[in-house]
């Protein structure tokens, strides 16, 4: 039986993707790089510096590490301005119920987010106290699809990876869960998230009983 669940944040519990999109779009266009929704799809589950590298690969310029850091900081400052406007109304359908169901069942609940602003988002959503432990980009060396973030969450929760399951909406995130040796619940398109053990459209279809003994 599973003893812990580890959720991703963006695209699972709330949709900050549109804020990331707006912030990345402004930065990309300031560097003469075309940025649209299709390009943005390639950034899902990728950390900030990895996303920046993908964007700047389309530029004719060569950037120094200091310039890249300045651009990443600029993007993050704009993103923080946008998420400061978030409220509990930005929780995705089924998110609170899924968290409450897991808590009622006695599961340890973790969060594995490559965002450095995870705590800010949780506070704005009013759900910080629903998590036993949060792992974000500041505490890991390698982002998804590396399994480090989910393994770190399992260790902090005191539960073996085989007794955990993860919930993710991105291909890189699902790969991270599977590499960690965990059962993977994908949220989104089953054709995109083929590596997941089961895929649901959203947390509104989250059925804890189906995953506990899987």
CA dist., res. 84 & res. 22, Å (int)? 14
Whole-number Cα distances in Å, 118 to 115, 125, 162: 5, 11, 25
CA 102, chain centre distance (Å) = 19
Q: Is 48 annotated as a binding residue?
A: yes
* Residue 210 tokens, joined: 């189906």
Q: Is 8 annotated as a binding residue?
A: yes
Phi and psi at residue 6, to the nearest 5° = -125, 115
* Residue 101 tokens, joined: 């169901």
Q: Is 114 annotated as a binding residue?
A: yes
**Tokens 């075309």, residue?**
34
Q: Is 30 annotated as a binding residue?
A: no
Q: Is 18 annotated as a binding residue?
A: no
* Residue 202 tokens, joined: 């959203």
* Residue 47 tokens, joined: 């950390």
Q: Is 40 annotated as a binding residue?
A: no
Q: Is 199 annotated as a binding residue?
A: no
Which residues on neighbouring strands pair with residue 111, listed in sequence order? 7, 134
Q: Is 142 annotated as a binding residue?
A: no
Instruction: List residues with catalytic annotation.
Output: 8, 10
Q: Is 76 annotated as a binding residue?
A: no
Q: Is 24 annotated as a binding residue?
A: yes
Residue 199 in contact with residue 193, Cβ under 8 Å? yes
Residue 186 in contact with residue 196, Cβ under 8 Å? yes
Q: Is 113 annotated as a binding residue?
A: yes
Q: Is 45 annotated as a binding residue?
A: yes
- Strand duo 198-200 + 133-135: pairing: unpaired
Could you tell me which residues are annotated as the binding site? 8-10, 24, 43-48, 51, 75, 113-117, 144, 168-169
Which residues does the annotation place in the binding site for substrate?
8-10, 24, 43-48, 51, 75, 113-117, 144
- Residue ranges for the binding site for Mg(2+)? 8, 10, 168-169
């Amino acid at each position: 039986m599973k003893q812990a669940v580890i959720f991703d944040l963006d695209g699972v519990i709330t949709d900050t993707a549109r804020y990331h999109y707006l912030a990345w779009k402004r930065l990309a266009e300031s560097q003469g790089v075309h940025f649209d929704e299709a390009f943005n799809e390639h950034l899902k589950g990728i950390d900030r510096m990895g996303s920046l590298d993908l964007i700047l690969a389309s530029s004719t310029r060569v950037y120094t590490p200091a310039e890249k850091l300045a651009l990443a900081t600029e993007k993050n400052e704009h993103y923080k301005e946008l998420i400061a406007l978030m409220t509990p109304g930005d929780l995705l359908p089924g998110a609170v119920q899924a968290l409450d169901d897991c808590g009622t069942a006695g599961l340890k609940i973790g969060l594995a987010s490559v965002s450095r602003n995870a705590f800010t988002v949780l506070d704005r959503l009013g759900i910080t106290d629903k998590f036993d432990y949060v792992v974000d980009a500041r505490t890991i060396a390698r982002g998804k699809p590396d399994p480090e973030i989910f393994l770190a969450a399992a260790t902090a929760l005191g539960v073996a990876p085989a007794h955990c399951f993860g919930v993710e909406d991105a291909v890189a995130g699902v790969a991270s869960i599977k590499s960690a040796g965990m059962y993977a619940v994908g949220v989104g398109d089953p054709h995109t998230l083929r590596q997941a053990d089961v895929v649901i459209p959203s947390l509104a279809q989250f059925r804890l009983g189906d995953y506990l003994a899987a």
